[in-house]
Amino acid sequence: MATRKRLSILAAVLIALTLLTASYRMWQGPTVPAYTLKTQPLVQTVVGTGWLTSLSQARVGSEIIGVVLERRVQEGDLVEPGDVLLVLRSDELVARLKGAEAAMLQLEQSTRPQAQLAAEQAQTHYQQLIRETQRRRELFARQLIAREALEQTEDNESVARAAAERAELAARALAPGNAEETMLREQLAAARAMLAKTIIKAEVAGTVLTRQVEAGDLVQPGKVLLEIARNGVTEILLPLDEKNLAVIAVGQAALSVADAFPDQPFSARISYIAPSVDIQRGTVEVRLQVPELPTNLREGMTVSVNVRTGARDQTLAVPNDALATHPDGQVSVLRVSAGKVARTSVSLGLQGLVMTEVVAGLASGDQVLVNGETDLPDGRRVRVTDLALPLPAVDRAGARQVPVSFD
């Protein structure tokens, strides 16, 4: 009997303790995960994927219609200004050049000397007739010859004068630097220029990217035969979501890595931001210059880019899942103080998809609930389970994170 009474008392005590413990747990509130905030370095980056391209490309074509005899370069070849790229058939143009040279030689060695000699002879004949006319005038005055003889001599003098003037004009036209020589020299220069166009040379230093011609092809003006990437600064073409326009700026540093060589990061810097947005994709074109490109990278390679848009040496950052945005645009967190929840408004700085800087409303050591949207009234008691803070880097674009450091 006594034993049964003791067991009843013990059971009553256990039930009382259980109820007391449950009441205490209910008084303490639910168990919720939380972050303990602290100051730490914070880097905000915009991450995107682009591709490599040269700053400019030279498109090589032919200025004349012709048939290709030789192609001396192929994709990947390095060329310098003056290097021969293509040779076109030149038989007809060589013949035209030889004809122009022959015409020039004939002018210098035959036509011009003959014209000068003819002018001298015509002038000599004219002077002779002048003297003969004067002599006959004197004889006529003395009535020693008839008027018909004098008039015949005067007519001959007029004819000789006209012939001398024509010969002089012809000689002047053929003189060095005058019309005939200028015309022949222009024809000779044009023939040489046309012949030179059968040798297509590189105008810039660079790398041959593409070729669209082979020996035997008929080429004509307007067709691109070769493309050459000019030596110099390489660019990255990077389409970014338009939502990043607020944080990107010309001059910002970036780190990039080619998908083919993930262990070889290289630096870049924003040099251009397009003034308009692609309405089809909702992106803005950004160009970054690469001053020192690794030698094993190629034109058109895909690269992942981290653009450093902001950084703090030490700042208070809160994980984004702890933030709650209200319809009026205000942002708040659920801060835990003395075991109780309090909805607290905060002001933000650098913002991203992982961590966001808090510039007002919180302090180092504060605890905030992991889920800022949790529907808990102010003053509600909670029990906190502390979680580790995420990595501090901010990834606004949600693309692949480049595994490199800006330091």
Q: Has this prediction a pTM greater than 0.75?
A: no
Same domain, 203 and 74: yes
Same domain, 123 and 260: no
Per-residue pLDDT at 3: 67
Q: How confident is the model at residue 237 (pLDDT cuts 50, 70, 90)?
A: very high
Q: Give the end of a domain, one of 259, 284, 309.
A: 309
Per-residue pLDDT at 249: 92
Per-residue pLDDT at 6: 63
Question: Would you say residue 374 lies in a domain?
Answer: no
CA–CA dist 388, 305 (Å, integer): 28
Question: Would you say residue 361 lies in a domain?
Answer: no
Same domain, 236 and 303: yes
Same domain, 81 and 206: yes
Q: How confident is the model at residue 184 (pLDDT cuts 50, 70, 90)?
A: confident
Per-residue pLDDT at 275: 92
Question: Would you say residue 37 lies in a domain?
Answer: no
Per-residue pLDDT at 107: 78
Q: What's the number of domains the chain is made of? A: 3
CATH of the domain at 220: 2.40.50.100
SS (H, E, C) the chain: CHHHHHHHHHHHHHHHHHHHHHHHHHHHCCEEEEEECCEEEEEEEEEEEEEEEECCEEEEECCCCEEEEEECCCCCCEECCCCEEEEECCHHHHHHHHHHHHHHHHHHHHHHHHHHHHHHHHHHHHHHHHHHHHHHHHHHHCCCCCHHHHHHHHHHHHHHHHHHHHHHHHHHHCCCCCHHHHHHHHHHHHHHHHHHCCEEECCCCEEEEEECCCCCCEECCCCEEEEEEECCCEEEEEEEEHHHHHCCCCCCEEEEEECCCCCCCEEEEEEEECCCCECCCCEEEEEEEECCCCCCCCCCCEEEEEEEEEEEEEEEEEEHHHCEECCCCCEEEEEEECCEEEEEEEEECCCCCCEEEEEECCCCCCEEECCCCCCCCCCCECEEEEECCCCCCEECCCCCCCCCCCC
* Tens digit of each residue's pLDDT (9 = 90 or more) over 41-66: 888 888 899 998 876 678 899 989 99
Same domain, 177 and 120: yes
Same domain, 177 and 215: no
CATH of the domain at 256: 2.40.30.170
Same domain, 206 and 288: no
* Tens digit of each residue's pLDDT (9 = 90 or more) over 186-210: 888 888 888 899 999 998 888 888 8
Residues 304/261, Cβ–Cβ less than 8 Å:
no
Lowest mean per-residue pLDDT among 50-64, 78-92, 250-264: 50-64
Q: Give the end of a domain, one of 309, 343, 358.
A: 309
Same domain, 208 and 221: yes
Same domain, 99 and 192: yes
Same domain, 75 and 224: yes
Question: Would you say residue 78 lies in a domain?
Answer: yes
Mean pLDDT for the chain? 82
Same domain, 106 and 188: yes
Question: Would you say residue 235 lies in a domain?
Answer: yes
Same domain, 106 and 144: yes
Of 108-122, 254-268, 333-347, which has the strongest mean pLDDT?
254-268
Question: Would you say residue 400 lies in a domain?
Answer: no
Q: What domain range includes position 279?
A: 47-54+231-309
Question: Would you say residue 84 lies in a domain?
Answer: yes
Checking if the pLDDT of 29 tops 70, the result is no
Checking if the pLDDT of 87 tops 70, the result is yes
Question: Would you say residue 265 lies in a domain?
Answer: yes
